[in-house]
Amino acid sequence: MAPEQTGRMNRGCGFASDLYGLGGTLYLLLTGRPPFLYDDPLELIHAHLAREPVAPAVLRSEIPDPLSRLVLKLLSKEPEERYSSATSLRDDLLALRDQMKERGQMDPAFRLESIKVPDSPRLPTKLYGRAHDRESLLGCFEGSVAIGPRVAVIEGASGSGKSTLVDSLRGEIAAAGGYLARGVCDPRREIPMGFGSAV
């Protein structure tokens, strides 16, 4: 299950979610084990959200480095860091297969997805110009770890990126074992307070 499918990232699912699942399947086929070994469902979800799997080439030295990197690219936490399309993935797999046929080995310097072929436009979700605000909120979280729960109020016009700013913290808070609850207050609504998802 891709991180965005857990419902804890406030992100939609798409073809990149399927690529993540394929990455998990390839990981199992190559190494004989899944990317994360946890019996507890919450620990498993946390691992998919915040932990990096051990590279397949580390677990089995006979796995070529380019193939190991390809699987890790498929298992990237952010959908934008995975392959831009199944076509690009196929092209890389065919190129690696051809190298094995021709040379008997894969080029260790093989550049993954050297030609990107997106199936549809992909809009970036990276946060720009909010580093100071983000650091302030992370400081608030760190204070809550030391002292106790805190509430942070973020004001701004609709569409100014408040939700994106808060959502950008989810991974770091989850990695630290924390929880994030997000609420929206719109005085123009009949019911002014609505709560978003929690991590």
Q: Write the DSSP string, 83-148.
A: -S-HHHHHHHHHHHHHHHHHHSS--TTPPTTSS---SS--------S-HHHHHHHHHHHHHHHHT-
| Complete domains list, the chain, with CATH | 3-103 (1.10.510.10), 131-198 (no CATH)
Residue 199 scores a pLDDT above 50: no
pLDDT tens digits, residue range 32-63? 999 999 999 889 888 888 899 999 999 999 99
Instruction: Answer whether 116's CB lies under 8 Å from 122's CB.
Output: no
The pTM assigned to this predicted structure is 0.61
3-class DSSP assignment, residue 5: helix
Mean pLDDT of 144-162: 79
CA neighbours within 13 Å on the CB side: how many for 100? 11
Instruction: Answer whether 141's CB lies under 8 Å from 169's CB.
Output: yes
Question: How buried is 94 (Cβ within 10 angstroms: 0-12 exposed, 13-18 middle, 19+ buried)?
Answer: exposed
Residue 121 scores a pLDDT above 60: no
